[in-house]
Structure 1
Amino acid sequence: MKKLASWGLQTALGLLVVSFAAFAIITLMPVDPVEIAIRTWNLPATDETMAALRQDWGLDRPLISRYLRWGRDFLHGDWGRSFRTGEPVRTEFLHRLPLSLSIGIAGLCLALLLALPLGFAAVVKPGGVADRFSRLLSVFTQSTPVFATGLVLIWVFGVQLRWIRPFANDRASLVLAIALVALHSTAVLARVYRKGLQEAAIQPWFVTARAKGLSETQALWRHAHPSALYAVLAAVHSEAGWVIGSAAAMEILFGLPGISQFLVQSISMRDQMVLQAYVMVIALWMVSIDCLARLMMLRLEPRLP
C-alpha cells in the first residue's frame, strides 16, 4: 500500500510538471490565437471584438493566472474551445477518443497475446522456426517504419488485390491499423519474454524443478513463466509510449478520425486548447498503462518495488 501511495504522489507531481511545461510552451508560441479565430470564424477584426475574445479566453492575464484557471477548468471538465472548429475541445475528444483507444489498447493486447506463445516456442527450441521468426520480425520492425509497412499493405490489399478500400475509414482499415500497431510490440515483447525464460532456466530453483521430474517445457511454464512475465510487464510501459506514435501514424495513414488526426489538423492553426488537451490525454494514457502494469507486477511479486 505504501508503494502505491508513493507512486501516486510521484505521478501527481509528474503530471503537474508536465501540464505546466506544456502550457507554458504552447502559450508562448509566437502566434495570436485571437487573430486565428477571427480569420477562421469570419469575425469583424475590430478592437472591441479582439479585446472581448482576449478577455473571454483569459489571454490578457499573467501566465501563472492563466495556468491556474486552465487547470481548474480542466479538472472540472472544461477543456476550452477549439479556435479552429469553435466546438468544446472535450466534446471533440470524447467523440474521437474511443477510436484512438481501440487502436492503441487492442494493438497492445494483441501484441501480448502473440508475444507470449512466440517467445515460449522460441526458448523451448533455440534456433528453431519460432526463434528465427521472432528474430527476423524484431529486425524487420526495428529497421522499417510502421507507416512504410502500412503503405505497402495498402498497395497490396487495396490496389492490387482490391480487398479493401484505401482511406475508406471502415472496419478493414481499423483491423489493419491494429495489426500494424501490434506488429512492432509483438517482436519486442517476444524477445523480452524469451530472454526472461532463458535467465530463469539457469537459476538453481529451476534445476530443482527439473530434478523433481518435470520436463523442460513444464518447468518453464510453471516456474520460469511468472519471472519472465514480470519482465514483459516492465517492458509494456515503454511500448505504450511507442504505441502512441504508431497509432497516430495509422490514423493519418488510413484516414481514421481519431484524436491524433484532429491534432494534426489543429497544429497548423496553432489551436492551443487542442494541443494542451492532447498532451494531458497522452500523459494520462501513459499513467494508466503504468498503473496497470505495476499492479500486475505487484501481484506476481509483492516483495519487488
Structure 2
Amino acid sequence: MKKPVSWAMQSGLGLLVISFAAFAIIALMPADPVEIAIRAWNLAATDETIAALRREWGLDRPFLVRYADWLVNFLQGEWGRSFRTGEPVFDEFMKRLPLSLLLGASGIGLAVALALPIGFASALRPGGLADRLSRLLSVGTQSIPIFATGLVLIWVLGVKLRWLQPFSDHAAAVALSICLISLHSMAVLARVYRQGLQAATAQPWFLTARAKGLSEARALWRHAHPSAVYGVIAAVHAEAGWVIGSSATMEILFGLPGVSQFLVLSISARDQMVLQAYVMVVALWMILVDLLARFLMSRLDPRLS
C-alpha cells in the first residue's frame, strides 16, 4: 500500500484536476444560465437585467478568476447559490446528501452481506441450486436495466399485491430502492467470491488442509475465505461508481429528495454551482471508497502496508 502522504497528494491532485475539468466543461456549455433564469422567472430581458444577473453570479469575470474564487470558496464550505432556487448550494446538499448516502451505502452493504453466503454455497456445491441462482441473477441484472426492474416491482408489489405504496410511503420507497441497488452488486460480488474460493481449492495449502481431515466447508472458510474476500473488496471498489448511478435512478423513479434528484432538476437550468458541487461530491465518494478498500486490503495482506 502506498504511503498515506503519497496517496493524499495524489488524491488532492486528482480532485484539483477533476474540479478544473468539470468547471471548464460546465462553463463552456452552450446554454446561457442568465437567459434560462430570465425565461423561468418571467423577467424582462433588458440589458440592465442581464448585466445585473451576470454581475451578481460572477459571470462577467474572466474564467480563471471565476474558477479560483469558486475553488477557494468551495474549500471553505461556500458552494455558491443555486441559479434555480436562489438557496445556498451547500445547505441544499446537506439536506439531501444523507438520503443519497443511505441508499448507496446500505445498498452496497446489503449486497456484500448477501453475496458472501450465496457465493460460499455456490463454491461448496458447484452446479447446485445456489450456484445456478447466483449465475441467473448475475446474467439477469447485467441484462435488465435497474429502472425496468424497479417498474416491474412497483407493478407487482404496489399494483397487483398491494403490499407497498412506494409513491406515498417514504419508508417503503427507501427500502425498495436499497433492495434494488443491492441486487445488481450482490449477484456480481457473489460470483467474484465464488471464483476466489474455487481458485483457492487448487492450491497446495488447501489440499494440505483437506488432507489433515478438515471438511471442505471448514477448509474453505478457514483457508480460502481470506483470499476470496480480498477479491470481493476489490470488486466493491469497482462497484462504487455503479452504485452512484443506481442511487440516482432510484431517486428519480420513486421521487426521493436526494442529491441526484436535485441535480436533475438543475440540469435544465444549467445551474453551474449545483452541477460543479455534484461532481466534487461524487469524486469525494470515490476517494473515500478507495481509501476504505485500501485499508481493508492492507489488513488482509500485510505486504501492502
Any stretches of 5+ residues in structure 1 without a counterpart?
none
Q: Compare 39-48 and 3-12 and name the one that shifted more.
A: 39-48
Residues 122, 130 of structure 1: 8 Å contact kept: yes
Q: Please report how far the alpha carbon of residue 183 of structure 1 lies from its aligned counterpart in structure 2 after TM superposition.
A: 0.1
Shift of 1:117: 0.5
Q: Within 1, Cα distance between the matches of 2:31 and 2:63? A: 15
Q: Following the alignment from structure 1 to structure 2, what is the Cα–Cα distance between the partners of residues 169 and 104?
A: 20
The aligned residue for residue 147 of structure 1 is 147
Q: TM-score, normalised by structure 1?
A: 0.96
Are the equivalent residues in 2 in contact too, given 1:169–1:255 (CA < 8 A)?
no
Alignment partners' CA distance in 2, 1:108 and 1:245: 13
Give the match for residue 132 of structure 2: 132
Identity between Structure 1 and Structure 2 (%): 71
Residue correspondence of structure 1 range 70-85 to structure 2 within 5 A? 70-85=70-85
How much has 1:47 moved relative to structure 2?
A: 3.0
Partner AA of 1:124 in structure 2 = L
Report what 1:275 is aligned to. 275
Matched, 1:180 2:180: yes
Residue number in structure 1 paired with 2:55: 55
Number of the residue aligned with 2:247: 247
Segment drifting more, 90-99 vs 9-18: 9-18
After superposition, give the CA deviation of every residue in 1:101-147 in whole Å (9 maximum; x if it has no partner).
10100000000000000000100111111111100110110111110
Provide structure 2 residue ranges, at least 5 long, that are not aligned to the other structure: none
Q: What CA distance in whole angstroms lies between the structure 1 residues aligned with 2:93 and 2:165? A: 26
Equivalent residue runs for 1:1-305 within 5 Å: 2-168=2-168, 170-304=170-304
Over the aligned positions, Cα root-mean-square deviation in angstroms equals: 1.5
Q: What secondary structure sits across from 1:281 in the alignment? A: helix
CA distance in 2, matches of 1:100, 1:8: 25
CA contact (8 A) 1:248 1:261 kept: yes
Per-residue deviation at 1:218? 1.0
Verify the 8 A CA contact 1:167 1:253 in the aligned structure 2.
no
Q: What is the DSSP-based 3-state SS (H/G/I as helix, E as strand, rest coil) of the residue aligned with 1:303?
A: helix
- Provide the C-alpha distance between the structure 2 equivalents of 1:148 and 1:212, rounded to a whole number of angstroms: 50
Pairwise CA distance, 1:197: 0.7
Aligned residues between the structures: 305
TM-score, normalization by structure 2: 0.96
- Give, in whole Å, the separation in 2 of the partners of 1:246 and 1:278: 15
Deviation at 1:200, TM superposition (A): 1.4
Amino acid at match of 2:117: P
Residue 223 of structure 1: how far off its partner (Å): 1.2
Question: What SS is found at the alignment partner of 1:81?
Answer: coil
* Contact in 2 for aligned 1:36/1:83 (Cα 8 Å): no
TM-superposed deviation, 1:16: 1.0
